Amino acid sequence: MSSESCGSSLLLALSDDVFSIITGSLSPKDICNLGLCCRNLYALMDCEKVWLTQCELFGIVPLQDLIEWRKAVSSYKALCRFLFSVQPLMGIWVHQNPELGNVVYVMPGFVSVVGCRIIPQELGPLGIEDGPILWAPVFEIICDFDGSRAFFLHGREKGCNYMYPGVAKPVGRSCNVLLLEIEPGQHKNWGKSLLHSQSFVQYPSKELSKNICRSNSGLSRSQSMFAQGEMLVPFSRLGFSDRRKLLEVVTSQIRVKVTDVVIGPLFPRLRDDDENFQKDMVLLSERRSMLIQMRKLGEGHLNLKASSQLQGDHTQLLLSEIRKSVDRISDFHNTINEDDGHRQSHRRRSLGRYFKDSLNQILGKSNSISGNSKNGSSSSENKHASLQEFLGSGDTIGLTLHASTVKLSSYRAWPNMHDSRFAIYKLPLRNPTADQEYAGLWGGTFGWPPGKPTKDKPGKALFFLLLSYEESQGQQLLIATKILEGTHYVLHPNGSAMFIVNIDEPSTDPFPWDTDVDSLTVNIKHVLKGEGIANGYGFRYPGSKPGSLFVFQDGHLAFIWKESKAVLTLQRLNLQELLRKGERVPALPPIANFSYLTKSYSNVFAEFPNTSTTWASAREEQSDALGEN
């Protein structure tokens, strides 16, 4: 179609700068559709300035970083494709176990996004802003030259650092659950191109299945059956034991031991140190090139068939090898069971019997003690798909990162989570507005002056609180939800409301101190009446006691319990800045590193060298502060 017939002559007459400003009000999908009108518009839509503007609009990285990222990809359009696909992942993801916090923050890396776990910790003498925040890598998604995504899970096993390559599935715009899964495929990974074919358009599941059928009409019968099987037997339909064992076996097979260069920085330090920033950029560029090359050349790939070399993504693993791995483990534990079978007690299962039952469940066999289930199956077996059915869907199997959208209920801004999914859940992080000025992420400690240790208590536990607003019985409430607690043993459940304040009800309580840490006069902007958590741990929804929220002129907050005079001081956090100047610590083993599902009331994340060990003082401080026994 000519430019005259489609009415685009006026647009074509505009300069690139003016046109990029106009297209700034369009979405990437609209720009792609506009380029289909005629050849001239198609050429104009490929303009670098148009797609640079689109990249800026995502707000993931500033302009100066976009210019650096562009050097690693084919075009700003390719970079925009990547930013569009990962934007919904940015922000805070959590799991309720362990109770101290399981907080993963997804932030920009270098031509990538990185998931970083915030370690429960105490503050040093420098406080929140100047003290190094401890964090560990969880996963990263790297942008390839064409804008496609490469997923790597981080983990550490037996003192060695590994990376576990996989596939990042298409991300829905409203995703709220991030799942670590196993997915079957074919030798040539026919579905891989599909993952990136729809750059800016996300389909609902039914519509997506129709597109799969249409776009793969020329596939072989076995490949077509795989497409149907993938829909019929998703990873989530397997029993928990099956899912756990598959993740364990697959990660043990695809892991790649990494060198110091690959371990090296995941994102640059702050630009205020230009010399170190430039050094970081060189290291990051070299590291990214090595990861992309490793993925393309198939390093860490398993050649499991002597007759043919497996081609395609090196994250794939032949199902026959999975079955062999499971069978070998099963045979080993069955032998143990035969030797120890006669010594089993009625009151307690032996370790061998425990593994035998678990592995029989994995293999789809009945684990009924009575042995009378030959002609029937239990209700729990009926509701789960069998492992054989899942593994029979394809010839290969691989690790995937699946961003899903599910309907979640919540209590006081904390989502109700599934205990047996290898998943983390997104917390809606609201930007402050005129009528919700305190919304967002805050960090703080107990005690006054704020964040500073004393001689008798050298460490102060760091708390992360998510402040959000909720309408209840005609009242506007401000809820401070605990998402991280830096003690050794938890005092309150993860997701607890540390305090709830009525925005429309002022308080007349005086502030107990006249000066702050710098001996400057304390200036109070206003005071609000509320209730703070009490009664300690022991139930999911603790009680509360009256208190007041003090808002300072400098923007800091302090909640004071009226009876005990305990004070929790808070300040806004910029997690990206804190992590860029923070201290990296080793990761957990891969599956636990993604989502630590085991309920624990102690700090499972902080058993690293060079970390603080003054947890007892922090616990005593909080117990005394809240008047708990």
Cα 112 to Cα 123: distance, rounded to the nearest angstrom = 29
Same domain, 366 and 479: no
Q: Does residue 66 fall inside a structural domain? A: yes
Three-state secondary-structure class, residue 225: helix
Domain for residue 313, yes or no?
no
**How many CB atoms within 10 Å of residue 456?**
8
**DSSP 8-state code for residue 341:** G
Residue 375 has pLDDT above 90, yes or no: no
Give the integer Cα–Cα distance in Å for 494 and 97: 8
Percent of the chain with pLDDT over 90: 41
Q: Domain for residue 485, yes or no?
A: yes
For the cut 80, the answer to whether the pLDDT of residue 392 exceeds it is no
Measure CA 292 to chain center.
22
Which pLDDT score is estimated for 458? 64
Q: How far is CA 155 from CA 161, 293, 322, 449, 611, in A?
A: 6, 20, 21, 39, 19
571 contact partners, CB below 8 Å, separation of at least 6: 128, 129, 442, 443, 444, 450, 451, 555, 556, 557
Q: Which two tokens stand for residue 528?
A: 């609000």
Rounded Cα gap, residues 140 and 587, in angstroms: 13
* 458 shares its domain with 345: no
DSSP classification of residue 392: T
- Residue 51 counted as domain residue: yes
Q: How many domains does the chain have?
A: 3
* Domain shared by 380 and 434, yes or no: no
Q: What is the 3-state secondary structure (H, E, C) of 525-567?
A: EEEEEEEEEECCCCCCCCEEEEEEEEEECCCCEEEEECCCCCE
Contact 168, 141 (CB under 8 A): yes
Among 10-19, 150-159, 611-620, name the most confident range: 150-159
State whether 568 and 495 are in the same domain.
yes
Does residue 457 share a domain with residue 353? no
In terms of domains, do 435 and 527 share one?
A: yes
CB atoms within 10 A of CB 129: 14
Q: Please state the rounded mean pLDDT for residues 385-405.
A: 85
Beta strands in 129-230 (DSSP E): 134-143, 149-157, 160-168, 177-185
Whether 356 and 461 map to the same domain: the answer is no
Which whole number is the average pLDDT over 157-164?
A: 92
Answer yes or no: do 380 and 528 share one domain: no
Q: Which of 35, 53, 82 is a domain's end point? A: 82
pLDDT, position 130: 75
Rounded to whole angstroms, the maximal C-alpha distance in the chain is: 89
471 shares its domain with 618: yes
Mean pLDDT of 384-411: 85
* Closest by Cα among 146, 164, 161, 72 to 109: 72
Residue 508 maps to a domain: yes
Q: Which domain holds residue 511?
A: 430-575+608-625
Which tens digits make up the pLDDT trace of 503-555?
Answer: 999 999 999 988 876 677 889 999 999 999 987 555 566 788 999 999 999 89
Same domain? 453 vs 561: yes
If one compares 29 and 537, the residue with the highest pLDDT of the two is 29
The answer as to whether 265 is a domain residue is no
Residue 89 backbone phi and psi in degrees, to 5: -85, -15
> Do 434 and 373 share a domain, yes or no?
no
Structure tokens at 551: 């808002």
For 304-358, the pLDDT digits (tens) are: 333 233 334 445 565 666 666 656 655 544 554 444 444 444 434 444 444 445 4
The mean pLDDT value for 201-215 works out to: 36
Whether 360 maps to a domain, the answer reads: yes
Q: Which of these three, 42, 67, 82, is where a domain ends?
A: 82
pLDDT at 259: 85
Burial 161-193 (b: 16+ CB within 10 A, else e): bbbbbbbbbbbbeebbbbbbbbbbbbbebbbbe
Q: What is the pLDDT of residues 459-472, one digit of tens each?
A: 789 999 999 999 98
Say whether pLDDT at 365 is over 70.
no
Residue 249 falls within a domain, yes or no?
A: no
- Residues 491 and 563 both lie in one domain: yes
Q: What is the CATH number of the domain that holds 27?
A: 1.20.1280
Domain termination site, one of 82, 108, 127: 82
Q: Is the pLDDT of residue 42 over 90?
A: no
Q: What confidence tier does 80 reach under pLDDT thresholds 50, 70, 90?
A: very high
SS3 track for 8-47:
CHHHHCCCHHHHHHHHCCCCHHHHHHHCCCCHHHHHHHCC
State how far the Cα of 104 lies from the Cα of 93, in Å rounded to an integer: 5
Does the CA dihedral 200-203-207-208 come out positive or negative?
Answer: positive
